[in-house]
Amino acid sequence: MEQPLLSVVVTVYNEEENVQPLLKHLHHELQGIDYEVIYVDDGSTDGTLVQLKACAHPRLRVVELRKNYGQSLALMAGIDTARGEYIATMDGDLQNDPADIPTMLQLAQRDGWDMVAGNRAHRKDKVLLRKIPSAIANYLIRHLSGVHLKDYGCALKVFRAEMAKDLGLYGELHRFIPVLASLEGARITQVNVRHHARQAGRSKYGLNRTFKVVSDLLLMLFFKRYLQKPMHLFGNVGVLLFAAGALINLYLVTLKIAGQDIWGKPLLILGLMLVIGGIQFVTIGIIVEIQMRTYFESQQKKPYKIRHIHQTHKDHAQGC
């Protein structure tokens, strides 16, 4: 089967009222582009799947998951199924506008971006439940990950297919797609996109999302800074704790030699805990270092990515 230029992946969970309007909008806005639309039904319990099956169209494929796995795994299923040279992702709630996709695709093709992310400059959401938690999450991710984007939560993105398929969207890491892409060496840009208020259905997100973002952010920081050198994290902490404990114990030994009673002092307990904790951190660092090497070598992965190998034509070689 011939490869289309673009695959649009839409993940949905209980969005029966939005299926047909979004599909009509997609088909209208993508005229003139060789595209396919992949809907991933993430275990919907309403009539979403029925609506999708009723929308027979040669450019539509529907991926039905056995149960509700969450947005990250649903997105991974859609990306794995996609056949396009480029992959666009978007939510199925009609808040993202398909009219932005051609512009983002053109930008990726013309300027060679690996990922073009959307920025909801004029976001149409509730301030307390959506905008404030999102602003907090964006601030934390931007300043701690080193990937400087304004809006990490916008689902509307366009990728090169090979980049999208290497992301590894486990758990709930869809929020960190730009960070994951950065780990793969992606060239990333962000453009302002339209955003509409939800007309039907209800949001699946709330304030509790902020706490999940913080915990996942710690994982992203480890991936970005220490995945290939875990000993630098655990070893440094371990050596610091061990050194502090050793100094405390050396001080207490000096007091003991001077004839003072040190047994039962809180400082003694602290010194012993720091020494034991330091040894444990160094040991964890060694174990994780071995696991990191196993991760790369068992799967024949390389800890680096080559973007392109430039071949100098022999007729133009200058000699070095």
The pLDDT assigned to 208 comes to: 58
Write out the DSSP string of the chain. Answer: -PPPSEEEEEEESS-TTTHHHHHHHHHHHTTTS-EEEEEEE-S-SSSHHHHHHH---TTEEEEE-SS---HHHHHHHHHHH--SSEEEEEESSS-B-GGGHHHHHHHHHHH--SEEEEEETT--S-IIIIIHHHHHHHHHHHHHH----S-S----EEEEHHHHTTS---TTGGGGHHHHHHHTT--EEEEEE-B----SS--S--THHHHHHHHHHHHHHHHHHHTT-HHHHHHHHHHHHHHHHHHHHHHHHHHHHTT---TT-HHHHHHHHHHHHHHHHHHHHHHHHHHHHHHHHHTT--SS-----PPPPGGG----
pTM of the full structure = 0.75
The pLDDT assigned to 256 comes to: 87
253-266 average pLDDT score: 86
Domain boundaries defined on the chain: 6-226, 230-298
More confident residue, 69 or 292: 69
Q: Are the CB atoms for 60 and 72 separated by under 8 Å?
A: no
Using 50, 70 and 90 to split pLDDT, how confident is the model at 301?
A: low
Q: 81: which residues sit within 8 A by CB, 6+ positions away?
A: 9, 38, 40, 61, 63
150-192: pLDDT as tens digits: 888 899 999 999 999 988 787 778 888 998 898 888 999 999 9
pLDDT at position 213 over 90? no
pLDDT at position 308 over 80? no
- Highest mean pLDDT of the ranges 115-119, 135-139, 283-287: 115-119
The pLDDT assigned to 199 comes to: 76
For the chain, give the mean pLDDT: 85
296-314 average pLDDT score: 62
pLDDT at position 238 over 50? yes
The pLDDT assigned to 320 comes to: 46
More confident residue, 300 or 52: 52
CATH of domain 6-226: 3.90.550.10
142-155 average pLDDT score: 85
1-33: pLDDT as tens digits: 688 999 999 999 999 999 999 999 999 999 999
91-104: pLDDT as tens digits: 998 999 999 999 99
The pLDDT assigned to 305 comes to: 57
Q: What percent of the chain has pLDDT over 70?
A: 88
